[in-house]
């Protein structure tokens, strides 16, 4: 199952920057693991924002929920989830 996830991050004013850096490092390792497994299929930075657009390829809604809730930055995120399905005009075999 493919999902497009829009993520934006905002730390509260005055948040400890050392703690933010620690959380971001943990997030990066978590992201890399999911990318290597193929579940986090693509990630693009939105220029000028602390935000990204990502494509997830997961077995179920429950798995996506588990992944998103496990993001170390989740408490500081605004998320938008869009389920995706194969377009009948697509010539790609790997987009389902």
pLDDT tens, residue by residue, 13-59:
999 999 999 999 999 999 999 999 999 999 999 999 999 999 999 99
What is the spatial distance between Cα 39 and Cα 16, in angstroms, rounded to a whole number?
Answer: 31
CB distance 4 to 32 below 8 Å: no
Its pTM surpasses 0.85? yes
40: its two tokens: 């986090």
The pLDDT-based confidence of 96 (bands split at 50, 70, 90) is low
Query: What are the counts of helices (DSSP H) followed by strands (DSSP E) for the chain?
Result: 2, 4
CB distance 43 to 56 below 8 Å: no
Q: Domains, the chain, ranges and CATH?
A: 2-84 (3.30.70.1060)
What is the spatial distance between Cα 89 and Cα 34, in angstroms, rounded to a whole number?
Answer: 29
């Amino acid at each position: 199952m493919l999902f497009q996830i829009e993520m934006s991050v905002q730390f509260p004013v005055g948040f400890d920057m050392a703690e933010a850096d620690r959380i971001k490092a943990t997030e990066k390792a978590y992201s890399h693991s999911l990318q290597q497994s193929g579940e986090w299929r693509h990630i693009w930075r939105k220029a000028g924002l602390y935000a990204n657009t990502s494509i997830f390829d997961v077995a179920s809604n429950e798995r996506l929920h588990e992944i998103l809730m496990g993001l170390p930055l989740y408490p500081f995120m605004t998320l938008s989830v869009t389920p995706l399905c194969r377009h009948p005009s697509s010539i790609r075999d790997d987009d389902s």
